[in-house]
Each structure stands twice: as C-alpha cells, then as structure tokens.
Amino acid sequence: MRQSFDDISAQLRARHRKSARLKWISMGALGLAALFLVLFFADMLVKGLPAFQQAKIQVEVDYSEQASQIPLAAVNEDVRPLVSRGYLRLIPGRMRDNPDLLGTTRMEWVLADGQVDQYLKGHHARLSDKEKAVVDRLKEEGRAELPFNTTFFTSGDSKMPELAGIASAAMGTVLTLLVTLAVAFPIGVMTAVYLEEFAPDNRFTQLIEININNLAAIPSILFGLLGLAIFINFFGVPRSSPVIGGLTLALMTLPVIIIATRTALRSVPDSIRHAAFGVGCSRWQMVRDHVLPLALPGIMTGSIIGLAQAMGETAPLIIVGMVAFIPDVTTSFTDAATVLPAQIFTWAGEPDRAFIEKTSGGILVLLAVLITLNATAVVLRKKFERRW
Amino acid sequence: MQTNQLLAMFSGSLLLLGLIAYFLARGKAARVRASGTSMYAQPDQYGWFTVMSTAGPALAVGAVGSFVMLLVGAEIPPLLLLAGSLVVACAGLVIGVAMVRPDFHARQAIERVIRFFLAGAALISIFTTLGILLSIVFEAIRFFQMQSFWDFITGTTWNPGASFLAAAGRAEEGASAAQFGSVPLFAGTFMITFIAMLVAIPIGLLAAIYMAEYAPPKVRTFAKPVLEVLAGIPTVVYGFFAAITVAPIIVGIAGFFGVEASFNNALAPGIVMGIMIIPFISSLSDDVINSVPNSMREGSLALGLTKGEMIRDIVVPAALPGIISASLLAVSRALGETMIVVMAAGMRPNLTANPLEDMTTVTVRIVAALTGDQEFASAETLSAFALGLVLFVVTLSLNLVSVIMIRRFREKYRVNNL
C-alpha cells in the first residue's frame, strides 16, 4: 500500500502529539504529588493553628471560706460552667499557700472550659443557648480572649482538652531519642568502619551486608514484636519506659546510620589512606586520625536523618506500651513515658472535637521539629561537602 | 545496698584501676625507653594496652555473670559478681604491666582488640535479624500448638473474642469458641495494598520519567526534595489525615453517587498510603532511568522515534527490572505499614471486595492483640506473633526478589551507583 505525503505527515503529527502528551501527563503526575503536599499542609495548618490559642475569660473570683471547701463556689453561678474545672480545682491549694487571699474578691483572667474555647473559635460546641449568650456578652465586654496557649507547651496529657499539652510527650521523645542515639550511633559507626575499612571480602562480610540491607526494609512493627518478646519478656526491661522505646528504635535506626556512614567513608579518597599508611600509621590509627574526621559531616547528616525517622515512628512503640497516659513531665529513663507521635495517636482516638485541634497542633509541632532536623542535615551536608 | 549505688561504685573503681594501669604502664615504658632500649610501640600505646587488659576481662566477667543470672536464673549475689570482676581487673592490671617489654607489639595488640570489637558491633545487626526471627517463631509455635495451622491459613472467620477468658481459666464464660481464620485479614491487607499501588505506581513512575527525561535541572533539584518530604512525614500523621480529612470526603463523594460508604472504608487509607509511597517508587525509578545508557536514547532518536516513543519503547523497557524492583519494595512497605491502617481502616475482619466497606489488616490485628490488658499467654496475644511471622516471610521474600532484580539490572548495564 502506498501512502501519500499528506498521510505520512498527518501520521507524524499524530506521533508528535502523542509524544507531547506523555510530557504533560508525566508533569501532571509530579504536579499531583506536589498538590497533595500543599493540600496536606494547608489542611494541617487550618486544623492545627487554633490549638496555639486558648480561650481565657475574665471573671470575678471570690476567695471565700466556702470556696476553700467547695471550689465551685468561688465563681458566679452564670459563668461556673464556662470556667475550666482544672482551674477551679487549684483554688483551695492556692488559698492554702497564700492565706492573704482569703476573703478577697478579684477580677481574674482564668482558663475557660474547652467548649467555650471551641465556641469562641467558631466551631460547634456543646453549650446551652443560655451559656452561649453569657459567652457572647463576655466577648462584647472584652472579657473573653484567645491569647497564646502556653499550657499546650508546658503541661502533660489531660482528659480536659483545655489542660492537655505536649510537654510530657516532648520530654519522653527527648529521653527515648537519647537512648536511641547512645545505642545506635556507636554501634552503627563501628559496624560501618568494620565493613569498609577492616573486613576481608568473604562470605561472612557479604552475609552482614545483605542482612543490613534487609533490616532496613523490615516493617517497623516487627521491631516492636522483637522489643516485646526479647527486651521486655526475656530481659525484663520495664514496659512503656524510654529505655525500651529507645532500644527498639535504635535497632531500627541502626541500618540507616550504617548505610550513611559507609557512604561517607567510601567518599574519602584512597590517597588519604595510602598517605597515612605511608607515614607509618596502623590501620586503626589511619581510621581514627584521618578517615573518620573527614567522613564525620556525612556521618552526622546520616545520623540526624535516621534520628528524624525514629522520632516519627509510632507502631513499634505502641507494641512496647509507650501509649500510656502521662499527665506529669518525668525525667526518668525507666518510668512510663510517651512520645510525641504516640501522644498524637492517643489524642486522635479521643471523641471530643477539641482534641482534633490538639492533635493537629501536636502534628504541627512534630512536623516543625522534623523539618528543622532534616534542614539541619541538608545544611550540614552542603556546608561540609567536599569534592575530592 | 542499692543496685544503682553498687554499679556506680563498681564503675568508679574500674575507672580508677584503668587510670592506675595507664600511668603505671606508660611510666614503665617511658623508663625503659629512657634507658636507651628501643621499643616496638610508643609509651602511650603500652598504657592503652594495659587499660584494655584491665577493663576488658573484668567487664566480660560482669556481663557473662549477669547474663547467666538472667538466662539460667542462677542466684549469684551481685556483690560477689562485682567483687569477682574487680579481682579479675586487678589481675589484668598486673599482667598488663608485666607485658610492657621492648619486644612486645602493643600497637598490634590494640589493633587486634579493636578489630575484634568492630566485628562484634557488626554482628549486632545479625543478632537483630535473628532476634526478630526467633522471637516471632517461638511465640508463633506456641500459638500453633493451641490453634491448628490449617484453620489459621484457610479459615474465613477471625473472632478471637473469648480467648483471653480461656487463658484465664474461665473458658465456659465465653459465649463462642475463638476462631483464628486469617483469610479476611489478608484479604483486607491486599485490598489496601492494591489501592495504594494503584495510586503510587502510576504517579511515582510518571514523576520519575518527568524528572529523568524532561525536567530542566532547576526543576529537578527542587522537585526531588519536595517528593522526599512525602516520605518523611510520620505515618501517624498520615493516619490522622486519612481518618479525619480523606475518609469523610470519600463518604461524601460516595453519598453523592448514592452509594453507601463506611467511615472506615479501605479507600482512604489505601489512597493516603499510596501517596506516602510515591517517593519510594519515584526516587529509585529515577535513578534506574538515569542509568539507562545514553547510547540507547541516541540510537532510537537517530532511527526517527519521537521522544515519547523513545521513552515508552526503549527507556522504560530497559529500566523495567529496576522499576519492578522499586514496586516490589513499595508493596513490601505497604504490607507492613501500620499506623495509617490502625487509624483509618476498620477493626472488623470483613471478607469483601468492596473498597468502600470497612475492613481490617494484619498489622491492625497485631496492634489490637498486643494493646490492652491481656494475659500474654492467651491465644489472641500469641496470634499477633503468628501474623507477624507471615508478614516477616512475605516482606522478606519481596525484598530478596527486589534485590535480585536490581542486581540483574546493574550487571546488564554495568552501573555501580545503584
């Protein structure tokens, strides 16, 4: 069959159109992923930013004899359901500490109930119409405000949303990550140094290498099963403690640190090693004095990234019991503790709508820390990167 | 005396002994050298060697002792153990100082010890894998002693309901016997993984094609880290997002078309998991596509192919082993993903092909079985380990196949950076 010139050029045009289509589709795929990222962050910001504000109302607090017995009596009946019960509970104690208060009446800014907070932020709130009217009146008089929420950063978990904060979870995260770093960093660096600088190329070394790559791909929840069966049931490490969480996460972070360190060691040129041997260094002296210092920025970058990964990990920690309700900030490595992602998980399960806000607020804090960590790693790499 | 105080005293005296050892040996070596005899090593190195010979055996004795105590349950008084290791430390000190002689290679001895330590550290990763395997296998065996293996593999009802009562010796109070048929769990897992792959593979692959073949360098340096952010977001955050934002949207859309959807539908966790997995596929595929030799591109363009045809018919088929390898890794990641499904998928084992219904997964049941106050020896708790065993075997085989595929690709095109 013979084709006319027009046929062929039409065919060619169609082929080029098809080719252009692939470009646009593939660009669209990338755009879709970026779009999702934007939507995701927008959604989290919209949901979470209000958590950094907390309603306070100005009410008359009457430090009477009766109030030291029944704290509810300290405030007027119409605003009583609007004041946080957590605040009222503290009144008798404060009166004991400060006897001058007895018999005085003061106008004070007090923490409002979680429902008032939701109402002021324009969300649905479980308040009666009468209570809503009172809040509206207070707002008109300038006696209801939404100042910055310091409670969120200074207190631990609570069943009352207005008193719930991330301090205990943040402390738990710090303790857990300290354990993780203390275990995973030395072992990871030592393993990498052995594999890169010392190990002979034999079956055993290959086994270790395959094993490390495989460990990096094992589902994290299985590390939780390991922690439960071996660390808790066999070695008797206390459940829910930063030690057990840190150990479990350390085993997970180990492959990340090993792989990063090996890459860093490999990027140090052999001429450095030859020169060190040439002036009479032993192998360990060569590694300690010449190769490791040069590889250190790469090792640090890898460790920070590994740590950031461990920080966001939740599943294995749930298995080893780190989802406890921790109202107080503890600094012990062996007491029950919780971590930020586990706190987010716990709050996400609370039915109260105010906790959705707290959860998103916690997520924003977690994401901010993670982004900072990763950015630090990138900056470190950019700053110390050397082309040999 | 408190264990903590005891430990503090022990480490204090060991530190002191180490210091003494260092200065004694260094002093002795310095004196020998000052007398004009040439030595194989520096005085410092003799010092460090003696520190090692002091602390090493003592710590080993302490560690072995406490391990024996834990393992066999033999009652060794801690005081005796610590005192014993201190005696060993003193002996080590004496021997170490005695070994400071001109013909002794202290540096090589140190080297050997350090090498030994490094190899020991490298073994820990092996022990981790072994630990995971053993802990899961032993508990799984206990589970299969209670429940038949065949029922576990083929049963279609998962109802652990009253098994914790049976463990507590109150079996008759439970209304129905517990059933552990894992088919619905695996069905749910594969359904959600399948949805995730429907999202992740096309988007990830196309994004990789764009970045490798079309994107100007500026876009590339910007887009790669942005995609990596997707992989860096904690899964618990994705889970919250899926449950609070995506699931209601899906229910709304389904309602618009007159279809009823559960708030714990499988679609929401599937889609969100797919988005999480995009960077896993795109970054590995990107690397693979980049390492397809340019001669193949030039050859096909010279034959008159359009750029689109070149990518479709030459580049992608050449990179296929790598792309498949990336997808397998992604599948293994999706199978083991926990938080997203725990928060967004249902708890009810449900054997259905409708992604709008709620269904549960293997990882959800593992978490459900191990949280809450239950007897550890109950069949429900142990079932978590049986499920974990299956998960381990499946992900391990996927990873191995993936490694083999990528190695084949590497050998074919002789690239070394993958």
Mean pLDDT of A53-60: 84
Which of A35-44, A269-278, A295-304, B139-148 shows the lowest mean pLDDT across its residues?
B139-148
Q: A150 and chain B: CB distance < 8 Å anywhere? A: no
Distance of CA A37 to the CA centre of its chain: 18
Domain boundaries in chain B?
3-104, 182-371
The predicted-structure confidence for B159-168, as pLDDT tens digits, reads as follows: 776 555 555 5
- Give Cβ neighbours of residue B406 (< 8 Å, ≥ 6 apart): B288, B321, B322, B325, B418
Q: What is the residue whose two structure tokens read 């459940």?
A: A239
pLDDT at B170: 52
- Cβ-based burial of A288 (10 A; exposed 0-12, middle 13-18, buried ≥19): middle
Give the homologous superfamily in CATH for domain B182-371.
MetI-like (1.10.3720.10)
Most confident of A75-84, A119-128, B217-226, B371-380: B217-226
Choice among A35-39, A235-239, B185-189, B311-315 with the minimum mean pLDDT: A235-239
User: Residues A261, A188: contact at Cβ < 8 Å?
Assistant: yes
Nearest by CB: A315 against B124, B125, B339:
B339
Percent of chain B with pLDDT over 90: 23
Q: Show Cβ contacts of residue B40 under 8 Å, excluding neighbours closer than 6 positions.
A: B102, B103, B104, B105, B106, B107
Task: Centre a 10 Å sphere on the Cβ of residue B401 and count the other Cβ atoms it contains.
Answer: 15
Buried b (16+ CB within 10 A) or exposed e, A260-275: bbbbbbeebeeeebee
Amino acid at B30: A
Per residue in A313-355, pLDDT (tens digit) is 989 998 888 877 878 787 888 888 889 999 999 888 887 878 8
Asked if B203's CB is within 8 angstroms of A282's CB, the reply is no
Q: What residues of B are in contact with residue A367 (Cβ under 8 Å)? A: 233, 237
CB contact A296 to B (< 8 Å): no
Which chain A residues are closer than 8 Å to B126 by Cβ? 207-208, 211
What confidence category does residue B73 fall into, taking pLDDT thresholds of 50, 70 and 90? low
DSSP-H helix ranges across A79-202: 85-97, 114-120, 129-140, 151-154, 167-193
Triad B213, B218, B224: Cα angle to 5°:
70
**What residue has token string 């001058």?**
A100
More confident residue, A100 or A25: A25
**Residue partners of B70: CB distance under 8 A and separation at least 6:** A234, A235, A236
Residue A233: strand, helix, or coil? coil
Helix (H) or strand (E) holding A338: none
d(CA B75, CA B294): 70
DSSP B339-382: HHHHHHS-SS----S-TTSB---HHHHHHHHHSSS--TTSHHHH
Evaluate the CA torsion angle B173, B177, B182, B183 in order and state its sign.
negative
The angle formed by the CA atoms of residues B40, B44 and B45, to the nearest 5 degrees, is 50
Within 8 A of B210 by CB-CB distance, chain A residues are 23, 26-27, 29-30
Q: Which of A296-310, B103-117, B166-180 has the lowest mean pLDDT?
A: B166-180
What is the percent of chain A with per-residue pLDDT over 70, rounded to a whole number?
99
CA distance B2 to A22: 72
Q: What's the helix, strand, coil split of chain B in %, to 5?
A: 75, 0, 20
**Average pLDDT estimate for A75-96:** 79
pLDDT score at B174: 45
How much is the pLDDT for A370? 92
Contact B237 A36 (CB under 8 A): no
Residue of A nearest to B376 (CA): A233
Alpha-carbon gap, residue B415 to B418, rounded angstroms: 7
Question: Mean pLDDT over all residues of chain A?
Answer: 86
Residue A41 has pLDDT above 80, yes or no: yes
Kindly state the tokens that stand for A157.
């978990």
CB contacts, 8 Å: A21 with chain B: 308
Name the region of A280 (left: φ>0; alpha: ψ -120 to 50; beta: rest).
left
By the 8 A CB rule, do A194 and B124 touch? Answer: no
User: Can you give the pLDDT at residue A132?
Assistant: 82
What ipTM was estimated for this complex? 0.89
Over range A6-21, report the average pLDDT: 90
A184/B383: higher pLDDT: A184
* Min distance A311 CA to chain B CA atoms (Å): 8
| Alpha-carbon span B165 to A38, nearest angstrom | 49
Higher pLDDT, B377 or A378: A378
Which residues of chain B lie closer than 8 angstroms to A213, CB-CB? 399, 403
Report the alpha-carbon distance of residue A287 to residue A297 in Å, rounded. Answer: 15
Residue from the list B123, B213, B392 with its beta carbon closest to the beta carbon of A222: B392
Neighbouring C-alpha atoms within 13 Å toward the C-beta of A383: 10
Q: Which two tokens stand for residue A344?
A: 């987010």
For residue range A117-169, what is the model confidence (pLDDT) as tens digits? Answer: 888 887 877 778 888 888 888 888 888 888 888 888 888 888 888 888 888 88
Of B131, B215, B338, the CB nearest to A220: B338
Look at chain B and count its residues: 418
Tell me how far the alpha carbon of residue B151 is from its chain's centroid.
30
Chain B positions in Cβ-Cβ contact with residue A191 (cut-off 8 Å) = 118, 121-122, 124-125
Inter-chain CB proximity A30 and B395 less than 8 Å: no
How would you classify the pairing of strands A144-145 and B158-159? unpaired
A203 interfacial to chain B (CB closer than 8 Å): no
Put simply, the answer to whether B396 touches A312 (Cβ < 8 Å) is no
pLDDT value, residue B27 = 82
pTM of the complete model: 0.87
Quick: pLDDT tens for A44-54. 998 888 888 88
Amino acid at A386: R
Query: Residue B327 pLDDT > 90, yes or no?
Result: yes
By residue count, chain A amounts to 388
Which residues in chain B are closer than 8 Å to A247, comparing Cβ atoms? none
Residue A185 has pLDDT above 90, yes or no: yes
Q: What is d(CA A174, CA B12) in angstroms, rounded to the nearest whole number?
A: 27
Amino acid present at B15: L
Whether the CB-CB separation of B207 and B224 falls below 8 Å is answered with: no
Distance from CA of B33 to the nearest CA of A (A): 20
DSSP β-bridge partners for residue B159: B179
- Residue A72, Ramachandran bin (φ over 0: left; ψ between -120 and 50: alpha; else beta): alpha
Residue B173 has pLDDT above 50, yes or no: no
The answer to whether residue A184 neighbours chain B at the CB level (below 8 Å) is no
Question: Is B209's pLDDT higher than 90?
Answer: yes
